[in-house]
Amino acid sequence: MAEAALVLGAGGITGVGWEIGVLHGLAEAGVDLWTADLVIGSSAGSVVAAQITSGKLTSAELYERQLADPRGEIPGRLGAPMILRYARAILSSRTPEAYGRKLGRLSLGTRTAVDESARREVIAGRLLSHEWPQSRLLVTVVDALTGELKTYDKDSGVPIVDAVTASCAVPGVWPAVTIDGRKWIDGGVHSTANAHLAAGYRKVVVLAPMAAGNKVLVSPRAQAARLAAEGARVEVITPDTAAKKAFGRNSLDPARRAPAARAGREQAAAHAEAVAALWAQ
């Protein structure tokens, strides 16, 4: 089996802050997950994955960046009517691909507050480097027409800014992203973590801001259980009560990023011993 994989899941801008807070808190405790042989990022996780693999900042510097005024960010919201459409798509789907097709149609049929280019500028501003890292990084996206999951990496020929922008294209909030003549939406549409992509790795740590699953989308813990059944050692970290409170009711509100980061840093202490034991093996 291959060595270590770090899986960073979807969860809006609060998910970005929380994941970086957890990673920094673990680093303070002596556990450096940035050394992973494979990093998988979906939606919010793709932003974090691109940042930590860039090698541009330390965990402390990246954490402090989350506490700064979120200038350049654009607030978003999944309102009640849109949430209802998501729920109907889940109830009428049997597979993640079918669900992806429904949300793809929703995305393509919705006029968003900003266009593709404006959204790309926001994501470009989040990233520390606009070049793919030499380490192994996978960014997940979903085909808006077929609903199928795809990953981009340094060998894909796709700019990392485009890949991450597509991975963060929340249907109904942000525009689908055009790459190679096709439209792509949020990688978290297939599952909130996509931890199954770490199959074959001996030890896996999953940070999942969105912990729940449903009849269509496999939860991060269920995916972790499958990896464990195949012989992997897996630790899953999901938000505790304090972190959920810090997120507030809108995970797409930039003003909640700093509280989420602080909550992640605080929560890391409860997981440091278990993650350290796994990572040291």
Is 251 labeled as catalytic in the residue annotation?
A: no
Considering the candidates 43, 59, 107, 219, report the single residue annotated as catalytic. 43
**Helix or strand holding residue 143 (H, E):** strand 136-143
Closest C-alpha to 227, from 207, 206, 252, 249: 206
Closest C-alpha to 133, from 51, 62, 53, 49: 53
Report d(CA 132, CA 28) in Å as an integer. 27
Report d(CA 99, CA 88) in Å as an integer. 10
Report how far Cα 147 is from the mean position of its chain's Cα atoms: 18
Considering the candidates 143, 162, 186, 253, report the single residue annotated as catalytic. 186
Name, in order, each residue with C-beta under 8 angstroms of 117's C-beta and a sequence gap of 6 or more.
none
Is 43 labeled as catalytic in the residue annotation?
A: yes
Query: Which residue matches tokens 């440091």?
Result: 272
Report d(CA 135, CA 146) in Å as an integer. 30
Write b or e for each residue in 176-210: b if 16 or more Cβ atoms lie within 10 A of its Cβ, otherwise e. Answer: bbebeeebbbbbbbbbbbbbbbbeebebbbbbbbb
Q: Active-site residues: which are they?
A: 43, 186
